[in-house]
Chain A
């Protein structure tokens, strides 16, 4: 492709994106075939559309702070409020990096408080998360109406979980839609590390066996590459690059843990209308490796909350 046609193609792709963006999502109702939104691209420019199609969108989906907390709860672990990030620390976060990381961390702590029905902590941690969201300029993600709704339903854990999910969706979509992809990534990173930090602090290195939480910690090895890819997609941002160095150090420890899985066999259960993905897994983690993992996670997490 020569330079001129390359520029032309670039402009065309911009025009297609522009048209696509304008036509997208403007209605939710059913439309007849004749009313369907179409992009006006001349027939002889169809190769440019094909070029656009090749630019495949990739999502690296780390567990959300809500899911991270649920994973720990599902392992039957106890709740220890001393492991949560201190509420007073919220006043000391002034940079985008610290506010984004701690929005994820406080949302994870808030989720823990909710799952373990710690009513006063739910309000306190929602306020801490609100402070971080406000600092990042996330408009209306957590407003007074949210806090009021939380207080009104403080004993209804299902509604509380819905509110947390909704506020997190509002925050992350606001950051993504406003081009703050690095901040959106750091929110997820903060939440993921908080879940892992709390998990590793709740497990005794001398009693790794027969503890379901040990299994959930080992499972996090499966997300490290996703985490690195998420950071890689935002490379060039100073804060992201700093975090990436820390995550590479963590990956080196996770690499010492062995996971062997058999082939997955899907099995549909007609009664529950659900599919069970059957597979056997064998894992191997020594107490020494666990100690190294716990200490590396604590070091990174503590650098986020300091």
Chain B
């Protein structure tokens, strides 16, 4: 089969399976990650993607004073640990879960509202000769309004 015919077929298959994987990712996020928010109210936003070992994702978000927040980052069991870091606008690292045995959650509040950057990285476990694992990674935010 000519390459020009293979590409559209692969593209179509990719779209169809991405939609399927997306639905599976949502189910994973709701079943596994949502409970990690505990007593915090989930903001309702959906941030999830299929990541490969060694791959990174980044997220930009404004967090407000007068609110308590919990970040929950969850990866499927078939993935290695997931490292996440929170950085300010000057790229200073404010938190890394590497110092907390790759904890899935982090609770925080702010004295003044800030735009922060979140970097999520799936660590590499495979040897160079092996092919990397891939799986769903979900990022969720919960909040509590200070009484």
Contacts and interface: CB of A to CB of B under 8 A. Distances in A.
A61 to B, nearest CB: 4
A284 to B, nearest CB: 14
A98 B139 CA distance: 28
Contact of A25 (B3, B24, B106): B24
Contacts of B23: 177
A162 B35 CA distance: 12
Interface residues of B, number: 82
A53 B45 contact: no
A300 interface: no
A266 B64 contact: no
A14 B43 contact: no
Given A28-B77, A36-B78, A59 B112 contact: no
Contacts of A37: 78, 133-135
Interface in B20-36: 20-32
Contacts of A229: 60
A199 interface: no
Given A67-B143, A219-B64, A222-B115, A23 B134 contact: yes
Contacts of B92: 263-264
Nearest to B124: A53
Contact of A24 (B61, B76, B88): B76
Given A14-B11, A15-B10, A53 B52 contact: yes
A292 B28 CA distance: 45
A263 B114 CA distance: 11
B22 A173 contact: yes
B42 A52 contact: no
B44 A275 contact: no
Contact of B3 (A11, A28, A52, A63): A11
B133 A36 contact: yes
A11 B14 contact: no
A179 B19 contact: yes
Contacts of B10: 11, 14-15, 18
Interface in B44-79: 44-52, 54-62, 64-68, 76-78
Identify whether the interface residues of B are mostly helix, strand, loop, or mixed.
mixed
A208 interface: no
A39 B111 contact: no
A184 to B, nearest CB: 8
A21 interface: yes
A40 B131 contact: yes
Given A67-B143, A179-B19, A57 B115 contact: no
A72 B62 CA distance: 15
Given A14-B14, A18-B14, A275-B108, A52 B46 contact: no
Interface stretch (A148-156, A163-171, A248-256): A163-171
A264 B94 contact: yes
B109 interface: yes
A277 B41 contact: no
A21 B108 contact: no
Contacts of B143: 67, 70
A276 B111 contact: yes
Nearest to A281: B112
Contacts of A168: 44-45
Given A38-B133, A169-B46, A275-B95, A58 B58 contact: yes
A280 B48 CA distance: 33
B44 A172 contact: yes
Interface in A55-76: 56-61, 63-67, 70-71, 73-75
Interface of B: 3, 6-7, 10-11, 13-15, 17-32, 41-52, 54-62, 64-68, 76-78, 88, 90, 92, 94-95, 106-115, 128-136, 139, 141, 143, 145-146
Interface of A: 7, 10-11, 14-31, 35-41, 43, 46, 49, 52-53, 56-61, 63-67, 70-71, 73-75, 107, 158, 161-162, 164-169, 172-173, 176-179, 188, 212, 215-216, 219-220, 222-223, 225-226, 229, 261, 263-264, 266, 272-281
Given A25-B136, A276-B109, A279-B110, 14 more contacts: A14-B10, A21-B14, A21-B18, A25-B21, A26-B24, A29-B77, A39-B52, A59-B57, A61-B61, A74-B145, A75-B66, A220-B62, A274-B108, A279-B111
